[in-house]
Amino acid sequence: MRGAVVALLAVALAAGVGAVVGSQAVDASSATVVRPLPELGAAVPLVPDGVTVDDGVVPGGGTTVGSGLPAVTELDPALLTALRRAAGAAADDGVAFTVTSGWRSAEYQEQLLREAVAEHGSAEEAARWVATSDTSAHVSGDAVDLGPASARSWLAEHGAAYGLCQIYRNEPWHYELRAGAADRGCPGMYADPTHDPRMQP
């Protein structure tokens, strides 16, 4: 099996095309990991612009809240503090948080938006899933995407105590910090980003 994978990678590299190794997409022209794939075999396009971990890419599909990757360290300090406090409490309950995305550069965000337009067929439909770099809470460092499902279940029950709230009903992984949530609970969710006034031009 290992020999077959090596041979496949060699053919892909020789052809100058991207290949999938484990759960990571590889740009064959630079042999740089450019975007994590959500699962092995998923049909996710490569990122041709060559974005890297410096742009907020999280290699391997996930990292910890204590990571030194820019996707984590470039989050708003208040959000990062709340996230780490919540993760510590969740760990006491046997639940681990995985950061699948956090801060992103404007270039990375725009690439994700182009991919979403290609995938969904229109800018209008893509806007339900990916914001522009001018409006994205990821670019400003004010949003974090979390997994697995056990972490999201834990946050549904305990997240408000740390100010961590799910913002969009269609994105159960997307969390932002909301002041006052500890006292009043999280605000009502938007159906998707197109209903969020912050996303309007």
Closest among 112, 140, 141 to 127, alpha carbons compared:
112
Longest Cα–Cα distance of the chain, Å, equals 59
* Cα 184 from Cα 14, distance rounded (Å): 58
Q: Which of 52, 38, 188 is nearest to 98 (CA)?
A: 38
Q: Is residue 132 packed enough to be buried (19+ CB in 10 Å), middle (13-18) or exposed (0-12)?
A: middle
Of the candidates 39, 119, 171, 176, the residue annotated as catalytic is 171
CB atoms within 10 A of CB 53: 16
| End-to-end CA, the chain | 51
Q: Is 171 a catalytic residue?
A: yes
Residues labelled catalytic:
171
